C-alpha cells in the first residue's frame, strides 16, 4: 500500500522550497530545513532531534525501557526479593525461552505473517533432541541438537510451502500446526522407550548446562570485556568509514554514549550474576550460559536482518510486497526461508526450554508459549502489520515477559490472575503498536 502524499509530514520550515532545486549546500543547512537525527552532525543537534522525535510519538525503545522500569518497581514494592541477585539471575534464565521464541516470531512478523505453532514445534524438536541424547541412544549433544533443529527445519519448510505454494493463510496453517504438533509431541513421548511416566529426562550435561551451568566469575568478566571492546571497535570503525566517505555521520559522542551504555549493562549484568546465589552451603555463581547464547543469537540474527539481502527483502516484503515483487525479489523463496528460520529458531527455544525444565513431557503448554513469544516480539516494538521490527525487540520484550512471569510467581498471584495479567500486557503492547501505526500513516 502506498501512502497518500503527505504534505503535513513536512515540517513548516521546509514547505517553501519543496519543489525548488536548491543548491546542495543549502539543502543541509539548518536554517532552511528542519534537522532530524539523520542529518544531525553535531551532538547537540542530534539530542534536539531525538527529543523532537520522542515528542512526536516515534520513540523507539523508550516505552519498552520505561515499561520495564515500571514493572520492576511494582514487583519490588510487593516483594523485596524481586531485585535480589538470585532472583534477577533466575529471571534472566527464565527469559531465555521467551526471547528465543520471540526472535522466531520476528522473522515472520516482519512479513506481516504469524506462526502460532512455535511452541509445539520447539517442543517436538526438543523431544527429538532429548530422545537422542539420553539412554539408550546417548548421541553426542551437538548431533542430538542438530537432529532436533533439522526436524524443526523440515516442519518449517512444510508449513512454509503450504503457505507460499498453496497460498494458505499462515494463521490457519500454523494453527493446524499448533494442534497437530501437540499430537506429534504426545505420540513421540508415548512411544519413546526413554520416557518414564510421560517424561523424557535430560541426562546430557551440556544440554542441562545451557540454563543450569554458569561461566566462572573470571571468564564472565573476560567475555564481557571482549564483547564491549568488540562492539566499541566496530561502532567506531563504521563511524570512521562513513565519515571518510563524506556521508552524514552520527557524532562520535553518540557512539561513545552507546558503547558506554553497553559497558554499564555488561558490568551490572556480570556483577549480578557473579554474586553467590546459592542457598545455604552450596555456592552458585557466574553468568549462566544462556546469556552468551542469547548474545550470539542476537548478533547473528541482527546481522542477518540488517546487513544481508535476505533481511532487507524481509523488510521490503513486509513494507510493500508488490514493490518487492517488482524489484525482482522472489517472494515465495524469502517467505519460505522466513518460516524455516522461524521453526529452526523455535527449535532452539525448545532446547533451551528442555534445559530449563530438565526434562520434556507431554505437559508442555505450547499454546501459552506461542502467546508469550508473540507478546515478547510485539512488546519489544515489532509490528504485527509487517515491515517493522528488530531482534533486539524480542530480547527486550522477552525480558519484560519474564519479569511479569517471574514477579507474578514471586508475589504468589493465582494462575487465574496470571493469565489475565499476561493477556492485558499483550493487549497493551498490540494497542501501542496499532496506535503508533495509525499515527504514522495519518501523519
Partner 1 sequence: MHGSGDQQLRMATDATAGARSADRAPASSSAGGAASGTPLLRLSKIGKSFGPVQALADIDLEVYPGEVLALVGDNGAGKSTLIKTISGIWSPDSGQEFWDGRQVHIRHPRDAAALGIATMYQDLALADNLDIVENMFLGRETVRAGLLDETSMELSARRTLSDLSVTTVRSIRQPVGSLSGGQRQAVAVARAVLEEAKLVIMDEPTAALGVSQTAMVLDLVRSLSERGVAVLLISHNLNDVFAVADRLAALYLGRLAGTARIADIDSQQAVALITTGSLTPVGAHSARKD
Binding part of the chain for partner 1, among 75-83, 126-134, 302-310, 399-407 by CB under 8 A, reads 302-310
Tell the smallest beta-carbon distance from residue 417 to partner 1 (Å).
38
- Per CB under 8 A, 19 contacts partner 1: yes
- Per CB under 8 A, 2 contacts partner 1: yes
With a CB cutoff of 8 Å and minimum separation 6, the contacts of 406 are 75, 82, 87, 90, 91, 94
Rounded Cα gap, residues 124 and 91, in angstroms: 25
Binding part of the chain for partner 1, among 113-121, 145-153, 246-254, 258-266 by CB under 8 A, reads 246-254
- Outline where 213-362 has alpha helix (H): 217-244, 252-274, 290-307, 309-319, 321-326, 331-357
Q: Which residues pair with 361 in a beta bridge?
A: 199
- Per CB under 8 A, 322 contacts partner 1: yes
Q: Which of 193, 205, 309, 438 binds partner 1 (CB under 8 A)?
A: 309
Binding part of the chain for partner 1, among 28-36, 179-187, 200-208, 403-411 by CB under 8 A, reads 28-36
What is the DSSP-derived secondary structure letter of residue 360? Answer: E
* Burial track 380-411 (b if 16+ CB lie within 10 A, e otherwise): bbbbbebbbbbbbbbbbbbbbbbbbbbbbebe
Which three cell numbers mark 139? Answer: 548421541
Q: Which residues pair with 227 in a beta bridge?
A: none
For the chain, what's the residue count? 443
Closer Cβ to partner 1, 15 or 77, answer by number: 15
Rounded alpha-carbon distances, angstroms, from residue 399 to 90, 102, 138, 205:
11, 11, 34, 26
Burial tier of 339 (Cβ tally within 10 Å: 0-12, 13-18, 19+): buried
What is the DSSP-derived secondary structure letter of residue 2? Answer: P
Tell the smallest beta-carbon distance from residue 61 to partner 1 (Å).
17
Closer Cβ to partner 1, 323 or 434, answer by number: 323
Rounded Cα gap, residues 122 and 196, in angstroms: 21
Instruction: Scan residues 152-181 and list those touching partner 1 (CB under 8 A).
Output: none
Binding part of the chain for partner 1, among 11-19, 86-94, 139-147, 363-371 by CB under 8 A, reads 11-19
With a CB cutoff of 8 Å and minimum separation 6, the contacts of 163 are 113, 169, 170, 173, 335, 339
Q: Which of 307, 367, 417, 442 binds partner 1 (CB under 8 A)?
A: 307
Q: Which of 12, 20, 279, 415 binds partner 1 (CB under 8 A)?
A: 20
Closer Cβ to partner 1, 23 or 31, answer by number: 23
Judge whether 360 and 384 are in contact, CB under 8 Å: no
Binding part of the chain for partner 1, among 81-89, 323-331, 345-353, 392-400 by CB under 8 A, reads 323-331
Binding to partner 1 by CB under 8 A, coded x per residue (else -) over 86-125, reads ----------------------------------------
Closer Cβ to partner 1, 27 or 284, answer by number: 27
Q: Which of 247, 281, 415, 416 binds partner 1 (CB under 8 A)?
A: 247
- Per CB under 8 A, 138 contacts partner 1: no
Closer Cβ to partner 1, 27 or 65, answer by number: 27
- Per CB under 8 A, 380 contacts partner 1: no
With a CB cutoff of 8 Å and minimum separation 6, the contacts of 322 are none
- Per CB under 8 A, 388 contacts partner 1: yes
Residue 71 DSSP SS3: helix
Tell the smallest beta-carbon distance from residue 396 to partner 1 (Å).
20
Which residue ranges make up the site for partner 1 (CB under 8 A)? Answer: 1-7, 9-10, 14, 17-24, 26-28, 33-36, 38-39, 241-242, 245-248, 303, 307-309, 312, 315-316, 318-320, 322-329, 387-388, 440-441, 443
Amino acid at each position: 500500500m502506498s501512502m497518500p502524499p503527505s504534505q503535513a509530514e513536512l515540517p513548516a520550515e521546509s514547505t517553501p522550497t519543496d519543489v525548488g532545486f536548491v543548491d546542495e549546500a543549502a539543502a543541509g543547512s539548518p536554517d532552511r530545513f528542519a534537522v532530524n537525527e539523520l542529518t544531525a552532525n553535531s551532538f547537540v543537534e542530534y539530542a534536539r532531534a531525538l527529543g523532537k522525535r520522542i515528542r512526536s510519538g516515534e520513540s523507539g525503545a523508550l516505552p519498552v525501557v520505561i515499561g520495564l522500569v515500571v514493572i520492576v518497581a511494582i514487583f519490588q514494592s510487593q516483594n523485596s526479593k524481586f531485585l535480589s541477585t538470585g532472583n534477577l539471575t533466575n529471571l534472566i534464565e527464565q527469559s531465555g525461552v521467551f526471547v528465543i521464541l520471540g526472535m522466531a516470531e520476528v522473522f515472520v512478523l516482519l512479513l506481516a505473517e504469524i506462526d502460532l505453532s512455535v511452541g509445539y514445534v520447539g517442543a517436538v524438536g526438543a523431544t527429538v533432541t532429548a530422545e537422542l541424547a539420553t539412554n539408550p541412544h546417548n548421541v553426542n549433544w551437538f548431533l542430538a541438537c542438530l537432529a532436533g533443529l533439522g526436524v524443526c527445519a523440515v516442519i518449517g519448510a512444510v508449513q512454509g510451502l503450504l503457505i507460499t505454494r498453496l497460498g494458505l493463510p499462515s494463521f490457519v496453517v500454523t494453527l493446524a500446526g499448533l494442534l497437530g504438533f501437540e499430537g506429534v509431541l504426545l505420540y513421540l513421548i508415548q512411544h519413546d522407550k526413554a520416557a518414564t511416566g510421560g517424561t523424557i529426562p535430560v541426562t546430557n550435561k551440556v544440554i542441562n548446562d545451557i540454563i543450569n551451568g554458569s561461566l566462572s566469575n573470571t571468564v564472565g568478566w573476560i567475555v564481557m570485556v571482549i564483547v564491549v571492546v568488540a562492539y566499541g571497535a566496530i561502532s567506531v570503525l563504521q563511524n570512521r568509514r562513513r565519515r571518510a566517505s563524506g556521508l552524514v555521520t552520527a557524532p562520535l559522542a553518540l557512539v561513545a554514549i552507546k558503547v558506554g551504555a553497553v559497558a554499564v549493562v555488561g558490568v551490572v549484568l556480570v556483577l549480578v550474576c557473579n554474586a553467590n546465589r546459592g542457598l545455604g552451603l552450596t555456592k552458585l555463581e557466574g553468568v549462566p550460559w544462556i546469556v552468551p547464547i542469547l548474545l550470539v543469537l542476537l548478533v547473528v540474527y541482527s546481522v542477518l536482518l540488517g546487513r544481508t539481502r535476505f533481511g532487507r527483502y524481509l523488510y521490503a516484503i513486509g513494507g510493500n510486497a508488490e514493490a518487492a515483487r517488482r524489484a525482482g525479489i522472489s517472494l515465495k523463496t524469502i517467505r519460505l526461508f522466513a518460516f524455516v528460520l522461524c521453526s529452526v529458531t523455535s527449535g532452539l527455544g525448545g532446547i533451551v526450554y528442555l534445559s530449563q525444565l530438565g526434562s520434556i513431557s507431554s505437559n508442555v503448554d505450547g499454546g501459552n508459549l506461542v502467546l508469550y513469544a508473540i507478546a515478547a516480539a510485539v512488546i519489544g516494538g515489532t509490528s504485527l502489520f509487517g515491515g517493522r521490527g528488530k531482534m533486539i525487540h524480542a530480547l527486550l520484550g522477552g525480558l519484560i515477559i519474564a519479569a511479569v512471569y517471574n514477579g507474578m510467581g514471586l508475589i504468589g498471584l493465582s494462575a487465574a490472575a496470571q493469565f489475565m495479567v499476561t493477556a492485558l500486557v499483550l493487549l497493551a503492547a498490540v494497542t501501542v503498536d496499532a496506535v503508533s501505526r495509525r499515527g504514522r500513516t495519518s501523519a
